[in-house]
Amino acid sequence: MDHILLIDTSGATCTIGLVRDGQYLTGMEHAEQKSQAAAINPLIEQLCAKADIKLADLSAIAVCSGPGSYTGLRIGMAAAKGLAFALNKPLIVHHKLELLAQQEIQINDAFWQYGVVLTARPGEFFYAAYDAEMNILQGPLHGATEAIKALIDSLSVTSHCLLGDEEAGRTFGESVIPHAVIDPAKWALWAAISFANQDFTDVAAAEPFYMKEVYIHPRKDA
């Protein structure tokens, strides 16, 4: 049996899941963002116990590399790389934009093009677009509102689906489908496809997909 561990710390919740032979088996969550570092490894052990497998039974580790919380992404990537290195297992790295696009395609494959737009900062967004076979059409990139709007407007007028968070909906209009949370049950299929295709990332070279530079607030004079 093939077992793939899913790790996502890109948002407020630390989410892990287990895929068995291409099917989502079970998962667990930790809701306290500030304690993800302390919680993630015990959570993985609990998940394996719940599924009655050992860490050594894992076939691969899949991690969402971002974008998201800088600290959260580092925690998830460190856990994934540590397990992959210690267990000598392959590492699968996916980013949030592709995961959201592929899970929408699983739900509704009626469109030719699928765009994903997520808030980065006020007036700035993360963006990528794919065709129905998950070939990249645009991005992934980080840009200001007007630049992202121009890219969105260049997509097919009659057959494109745009996904995003609440701020994206307010900025780019009612056509944005409110869809910004990764569903591990849908991720399972994408992880299984990556595993079958041996789409692995070098453990030493893997790093979070921040997509934007750290913003340093100017010092305030006393």
Give backbone dihedrals phi and psi of 221, rounded to 5 degrees, phi first: -70, 145
**Owner of token pair 């969105």:** 152
3-state secondary structure of 213: coil
**221 domain residue, yes or no:** no
Q: How far apart are CA 191 and CA 196, in angstroms?
A: 9
DSSP assignment, residue 215? P
pLDDT score for 213: 65
- Residues 82 and 192 placed together within one structural domain of the fold: yes
d(CA 140, CA 168): 16
Instruction: State whether 186 and 125 are in the same domain.
Output: no
Question: In whole angstroms, what is the distance from residue 106 CA to residue 109 CA?
Answer: 6
Q: Is residue 215 included in any domain, yes or no?
A: no
Residue 118 and residue 38 in one domain: no
Examine the domain organization and report whether 162 and 60 are in the same domain.
no
| Tens digits of residue pLDDT in 80-117 | 999 999 999 999 999 999 999 999 999 999 999 999 99
Global pTM reads 0.92
- pLDDT bracket for residue 220 (50, 70, 90): low
Cα distances (angstroms) measured from residue 30 to each of 27, 188, 191, 210: 11, 19, 21, 22
Host domain of residue 52: 3-95+182-196
pLDDT tens figures, 17-69: 999 999 999 999 998 877 889 999 999 999 999 999 999 999 999 999 999 98
Question: Residue 138 is part of a domain; what is its CATH number?
Answer: 3.30.420.200
Question: Residues 6 or more apart from 176 whose CB is under 8 A from it?
Answer: 117, 162, 163, 164, 168, 169
| 66 & 119 share domain | no
Q: Are residues 80 and 117 in the same domain?
A: no
User: What domain count does the chain have?
Assistant: 2
CA angle 212, 198, 134 (to 5 degrees): 55
Q: Are residues 130 and 117 in the same domain?
A: yes
Q: What is the pLDDT of residue 35?
A: 87
pLDDT at 216: 43
Nearest to 68 by CA among 60, 59, 80, 77: 77
User: Which amino acid does the sequence have at 171?
Assistant: T
Distance CA 188, CA 198 (A): 15
CATH of the domain at 34: 3.30.420.40
Could you give the CA distance from residue 100 to residue 181 in angstroms, rounded to a whole number?
7
**26 and 58, same domain (yes or no):** yes
> Are 7 and 91 found together in one domain?
yes
Q: Is residue 221 predicted with pLDDT exceeding 70? A: no
Cβ atoms of residues 177 and 163 within 8 Å = yes
